[in-house]
Amino acid sequence: MKKIISGKVREVYDLEDGRMVIVTTDRISAFDVILPTMITDKGKVLNALSNFWFDYTKDIVKNHMLSSDLKDMPKEFQKPEYEGRTILVQKLKMIPYEVIVRGYMFGSMYEAYKKGEPFLGHSFDKTYQQAEKLSEPIVTPSTKASEGHDINVTIDYMKNDIGLELGNKIEQTALAIYKKCYEHAYKNGIIIADTKFEFGLDENGDLVLGDEVLTPDSSRFWDLSKYKTGTSPASYDKQFIRDWLKENNLAGEKSIKAIPSDIVAKTSEIYKECQKKLCHK
């Protein structure tokens, strides 16, 4: 067994038998900086949400999940600190793109729209306000950079790169997952404005959903009760801690010593509320 990734949030161990163990920590990053203070139980929330969605979408696409029971893992992980934040997964040949599904006019897409420019190959035939729901969700991939920033590309760019058949399947699968999960979240008071998926191929060449799924770290979740077009809606993601960093001129600052306990507690509470609303059928 060897550790192959120590990411912003996750530690990944290769069991060297076609399986991996993924541990989701309580680390949080903002403005490309891993912050010095852990967010209580954040890793458990992200893990629980991903596991819920993997099960909820298994009728649409296979996923990499094998077990969340520590008894199925090497003895090194059979300890209390790994409980609720660790999964055993199938190793995949990952597709080198993040597959972003956008359902609302927001962020960089809204900036392009305001200038009258198409956005990554998509043009819009109606008038939109900020944060307004799109007529239909769209898929805009990005390259997965090992260093520096990911680069947004058109869906045609991805299809030309990986092949039309696989590209079409990924696009259709991503939209099907988004639509099914969007309806579940909406019924429970959360709007999934946009999200990103990662896919891989198994040993048979079948498409498999991997990484994390529809967590506040990989998605823009809005509070339905506070949602209003023409605004930047209240969210269940890292926006609270981002706002605190900006207000204190600490955005992107690598020398931060600690995050105040009240900010940590509030951030933890936002994550837990999200899990409470979503993790039931």
Residue 153 scores a pLDDT above 90:
yes
Mean pLDDT, the chain, integer:
94
pLDDT on residue 280: 81
Residue 125, judged by CB atoms within 10 A of its CB (0-12, 13-18, 19+), counts as exposed
Mean pLDDT of 139-156: 85
Structure confidence by residue, pLDDT tens digits, 187-216? 999 999 999 999 999 999 999 999 999 999
Structure tokens at 18: 């076609």
CA distance 240 to 266: 8
Mean pLDDT of 168-177: 98
Task: Tell me the percentage of the chain whose pLDDT exceeds 70.
Answer: 98
For residues 33 and 14, the answer to whether their CB atoms sit within 8 Å is no
Residue 155 scores a pLDDT above 80:
yes
CA distance 109 to 44: 32
Q: Which has more confidence, 147 or 230?
A: 230
Read off the pTM: 0.93
- For residue 223, the SS3 value is strand
CA distance 105 to 125: 13
Task: For residue 102, list its beta bridge partners.
Answer: 138, 194
- Total Cβ atoms within 10 A of residue 81: 9
Give the CATH architecture of domain 93-226.
2-Layer Sandwich (3.30)
